[in-house]
Amino acid sequence: MDNSTEKPIVYIVSDSIGETAEFVVKAVASQFDSGQIEMRRVPFVETKDQIQEVFDEAKTCNAIIAYTIVVPELRQKMAEEASRNSVLTADILGSLMGAFARVTCREPHLEAGRLRQLDEEYFQRVAAIEFAVKHDDGKDPRGLMEAEVVLIGVSRTSKTPLSIYLAHQGIKVANLPLVPEAEPPQELFWVPPHKVMGLIINPNHLQQIRLERLNSLGLDRSADYAAVDRIEDELTYARRLMKKIGCTIFEVSDKAVEEVANQIIQTIKKRGGDS
């Protein structure tokens, strides 16, 4: 049967959503008056029977099958049916994956929907970073209930660096400074204790950090901020509050941000497994 005068149909077949294939097909179709081309998306293909159905339909009309399929057995089925039925096909990912494999000397993951997964992870990280900045140093206490982790501790216990590091892992973090003269916001006591992480530090180590901070700001080193008695009072208050909340406490003295952050992440994972 002569199908040359029929309106061309492009079957967009994918083992994921099919957005990548559709975008490419639309870009190419725009060069050929895309209004004269019909597109039919066939997403989430998981079986050979689904592929067979597409070819059974495509071989009866003026059609092209454009596909983004990474599962090896399904790719093999596409090649076999294309040869058997003389249907035009376009493997949108195949040649480029082969080129990547050669230049990287690595094999592809061959996991359907991996791009969408990476995109979702990226936007999750961006949202987490924005959240950490918005809720840094006690800003907008209303966000404490939305946070996945709430860091509490006295000044200079790495709350902000830890918040940003954890946010880059996609975790929504708020942090709150503890000061004896200022009652913490009531929202802190509404947060489930397992989400609150207390940061404690050795008094002498904290004094050195605060002295360096005063130096960097050009302030008097004898300020009460760096006095040992003041620091011990703050830490006593912080420990008492942390005990009242029932949160997990992390010692941050002489520890890199990455080390403490990884301990927090492991605690989160363990709690998730226990729930």
Q: Tens digit of pLDDT for each residue in 251-269?
A: 999 899 999 999 999 999 8
**Is residue 148 domain-shared with residue 60, that is, in the same domain?**
no
**Is residue 28 domain-shared with residue 148, that is, in the same domain?**
no
For β-strands 38-42 and 196-200, DSSP reports them as unpaired
Cα(181)–Cα(234) distance, integer angstroms: 9
- What radius of gyration, in Å, describes the C-alpha atoms of the chain? 29
Domain final residue, candidates 112, 146, 176: 112
| Domain ranges, residue 236 | 118-274
**Is residue 218 domain-shared with residue 269, that is, in the same domain?**
yes
pLDDT in tens, 185-220: 999 999 999 999 999 999 999 999 999 999 988 888
CATH of the domain at 14: 3.40.50
Contacts of 66 (CB under 8 A, 6+ apart): 10, 11, 12, 13, 21, 24, 25, 89, 90, 92
Count: domains in the chain? 2
Say what the pLDDT of residue 1 is.
Answer: 47
User: Dihedral of the CA atoms 186, 192, 193, 199 (nearest 10)?
Assistant: -70
Cα(141)–Cα(237) distance, integer angstroms: 20
**Is residue 64 domain-shared with residue 164, that is, in the same domain?**
no
Regions of the chain with pLDDT less than 50 = 1, 118, 275
Say what the pLDDT of residue 274 is.
Answer: 54
Please, what's the largest Cα pairwise distance for the chain? 95
**Is residue 43 domain-shared with residue 78, that is, in the same domain?**
yes
Is 2 within the bounds of a domain? no
Q: Which two tokens stand for residue 265?
A: 């992440």
Residue 205 · residue 253 · CB < 8 Å = yes
What's the whole-model pTM score? 0.60
Say what the pLDDT of residue 187 is.
Answer: 96
Amino acid (1-letter code) at residue 11: Y
Domain final residue, candidates 89, 112, 135: 112
Q: Which residues of 83-113 are buried (b: 16+ CB within 10 A; e: fewer)?
A: eeeebebbbbbbeebeeeeeeeeeeeeeebe
Say what the pLDDT of residue 141 is.
Answer: 93
